[in-house]
Amino acid sequence: MATFVLVHGSGHGGWCWRRVVPLLTAAGHRVLTPTLTGLGDRAHLLSRSTDLDLHIADVVSVLEHERIHDAVLVGHSYGGMVVTGAADRVGHRVAHLVYLDAAIPRDGESVVDLVPHAVSSLKAGVRVVDGVELVGFPDDGPPPALGLSDPEDVAWVGSMLTPHPWATMVAPIRLTGGAAVEAIPRTVLLTPAHPGIAEDRLASARSAGRFHETGLPHDMMVTHPAETAKVLLDAVPR
């Protein structure tokens, strides 16, 4: 049995894995779906101190307090920043890293550095609420980039999305683990509009043998839970 820790992307929450969790538990695995501070059901905890480091601490805390030492640590989209930081801090608790259409940062890089064009459109919509800069207001429903087409999916996700703290997008990640983090086995799955992966890292991911390019949409855990679960189950250490 493995322990999956599924970390969502910007504007989402632990709720987005709802259709994937039963498929993983049915295969005999434990699954945790933490919601990052200031988002989803923890939106009431949003403050000026909500940044990338706090989100990394959220996941580190889960790994430590749940006494996990065999985590299949999964990051979707922005969650790639978070799981990379968590693995850097408590790599001994991580057996495998999975990047689902996710940012894969190096030390000193931010989301803005990795996907400047995508983030620039978000920056144009920054609003200040209670002293916190927020982006991604779901006023007009889910953004097209999520790849949702089914009306029920659009309605569900649109009702659940929350604005995302801008500070997490501009904060550079600080990594100190070096080769130890790079040595953690990893799976990378990219959709046609994959974010945050430079060509040299694509080459490295391909050579690692656990690299998948897929036609699935960005929010694959919503639209294609079975296919998503298969990728995750294939990442379980043998």
Angle at 80 between CA 203 and CA 104, to 5 degrees: 30
Torsion 201-203-208-210 (CA) sign: positive
AA identity, residue 123: K
Measured between alpha carbons, how far is residue 68 from residues 24, 31, 230 in Å?
A: 17, 11, 22
SS3 196: coil
Dihedral Cα 154, 170, 55, 193, nearest 10 deg: 40
Q: Are strands 164-165 and 132-135 parallel, antiparallel or unpaired?
A: antiparallel
Q: Which residues of 195-228 are buried (b: 16+ CB within 10 A; e: fewer)?
A: bbbeeeebebbeeeebbeebebbbbbbbbbbeeb
Angle at 28 between CA 227 and CA 70, to 5 degrees: 90
Cα–Cα distance, 27 to 24 (Å, whole number): 5
Pick the catalytic residue from 47, 77, 110, 159. Answer: 77
- Is 77 an active-site residue? yes
Would you give the end-to-end CA distance of the chain in angstroms? 10
Q: Which residues are catalytic?
A: 77
